């Protein structure tokens, strides 16, 4: 597996497995077990997904040493205040059934983010977390966090896919030596991404699928990817992306697909922020 070194020296696989919307714990356990068999070692869960326990169980029962895995989880907004962040980290550790978490993220950039970050810094220093980072942070929010704290985020997990390429945000993070990780690399299939003509033509030229071309395009931009699937064939397909590469011309053809807009929500839109903070899913009608 190709790896990337984070700004604190910790190594992360460049391709991993996301488990968002795997609400059924048996299904999640099965999917993670399939993914481990297929060769995935990076797993991306979150407290709010409600499936940390299933991810942890699949990892523990795999028989593969713990240090071969890279486990990510995230703190949700209601846990940012007061003494709650420390409890949330301990709760994630308990749910996962692990002694440490490889990467812990602030899931959304709202609420008492500074309090959450300082608790994460403490847990990092205590060895409970090997790396800490953020998600859905804009350049100004990352800058603000960095200016008033000790530890720089190792990762910024952002929505990046052909419809929402995030050129400026990705460049900002790369210049800061903050690793970008793409959530919804396939835009969850929205806007007919898997049957897009440009992507299909590129895929045919390499005897690959459109999904594989998307993952390759992201990795060639230096981004870590965490596609999700509950289907064995797709789980295998999505990791089979290390035996081809896209030409500069092909990369540019995909650049032209950018709609510079999210298929889900704009994390900086006041209405979306209110919906998220109140426990809803913005753009759930899409």
- Residues serving a catalytic function are 49
> Does residue 13 interact with ligand NAP by CB under 6 A?
no
Count the Cβ atoms, other than its own, within 10 Å of residue 26. 9
> Does residue 110 interact with ligand NAP by CB under 6 A?
no
Phi, psi of 111, deg, nearest 5: 80, -155
Give the binding range for ligand NAP (CB under 6 A) out of 7-15, 90-98, 196-204, 226-234. Answer: 226-234
Give the binding range for ligand NAP (CB under 6 A) out of 4-12, 60-68, 117-125, 183-191. Answer: 183-191
Give whichever of 194 and 242 is closer to ligand NAP, judged by the CB atom.
194
Two structure tokens written together for 160: 């990046």
> Using CA atoms, how far apart are residues 141 and 110, in angstroms rounded to an integer?
10
For residue 69, give every residue at least 6 positions away whose Cβ sits within 8 Å of its Cβ, in sequence order, or none.
41, 42, 43, 59, 102
For Cα atoms 188, 165, 1, give the angle at the middle one, nearest 5 degrees. Answer: 70
> Does residue 250 interact with ligand NAP by CB under 6 A?
no
Give whichever of 227 and 282 is closer to ligand NAP, judged by the CB atom.
227
* 107 annotated to a ligand binding site: yes
DSSP class of residue 161? B
Binding test (CB under 6 A) with ligand NAP, winner from 54, 98, 132, 187: 187
With beta carbons less than 8 A apart as the criterion, state whether 75 and 88 touch: yes
Give the binding range for ligand NAP (CB under 6 A) out of 14-22, 58-66, 85-93, 273-281. Answer: 14-22
Binding test (CB under 6 A) with ligand NAP, winner from 34, 40, 44, 51: 44
Task: Determine the size of the site formed for ligand NAP (CB under 6 A).
Answer: 26
Residue in the shown chain whose Cβ atom is closest to ligand NAP: 18
Angle between helices 139-147 and 167-175 (to 10 degrees): 20
Nearest to 163 by CA among 139, 191, 137: 191
> Does residue 282 interact with ligand NAP by CB under 6 A?
no
Residue 25 CB, nearest distance to ligand NAP (Å)?
15
> Does residue 196 interact with ligand NAP by CB under 6 A?
no
> Does residue 5 interact with ligand NAP by CB under 6 A?
no
Give whichever of 127 and 233 is closer to ligand NAP, judged by the CB atom.
233
Give the binding range for ligand NAP (CB under 6 A) out of 78-86, 114-122, 166-174, 185-193. Answer: 185-193
**Alpha helices per DSSP H over the chain:** 25-38, 52-61, 84-96, 113-125, 139-147, 167-175, 197-206, 210-220, 232-239, 248-255, 270-277
Phi-psi domain of 48 (left: phi exceeds 0; alpha: psi -120 through 50; beta: other): alpha
Binding site residue list for substrate: 107
Residues forming contacts to ligand NAP in the complex (CB under 6 A) are 18-20, 44, 107, 135-136, 157, 183-189, 194, 211, 226-231, 234, 237-238
């Amino acid at each position: 597996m190709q790896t990337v070194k984070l700004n604190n020296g910790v190594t992360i696989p460049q391709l991993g497995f996301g488990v968002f919307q795997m609400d059924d714990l048996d299904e999640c356990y099965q999917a993670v077990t399939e993914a481990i068999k297929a060769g995935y070692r990076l797993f991306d869960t979150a407290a709010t997904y409600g499936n940390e326990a299933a991810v942890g169980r699949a990892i523990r029962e795999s028989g593969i040493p713990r240090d071969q895995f890279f486990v990510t989880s995230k703190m949700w907004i209601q846990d940012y205040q007061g003494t709650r962040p420390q409890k949330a980290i301990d709760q994630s550790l308990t749910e996962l059934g692990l002694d440490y978490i490889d990467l812990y993220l602030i899931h959304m950039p709202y609420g008492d983010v500074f309090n959450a970050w300082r608790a994460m810094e403490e847990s990092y220093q205590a060895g409970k977390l090997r790396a800490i980072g953020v998600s859905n942070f804009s350049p100004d929010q990352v800058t603000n966090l960095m200016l008033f704290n000790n530890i720089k985020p190792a990762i910024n997990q952002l929505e990046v896919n052909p419809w929402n390429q995030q050129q400026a945000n990705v460049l900002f993070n790369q210049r800061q030596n903050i690793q970008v990780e793409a959530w919804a690399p396939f835009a969850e299939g929205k806007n007919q991404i898997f049957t897009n003509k440009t992507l299909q033509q590129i895929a045919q030229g390499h005897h690959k699928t459109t999904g594989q071309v998307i993952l390759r395009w992201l990795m060639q931009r230096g981004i870590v990817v965490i596609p999700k699937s509950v289907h064995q064939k797709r789980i295998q397909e999505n990791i089979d992306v290390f035996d081809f590469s896209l030409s500069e011309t092909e990369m540019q053809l995909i650049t032209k697909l950018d709609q510079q807009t999210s298929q889900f929500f704009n994390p900086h839109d006041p209405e979306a922020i209110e919906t998220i903070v109140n426990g809803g899913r913005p753009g759930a009608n899409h």
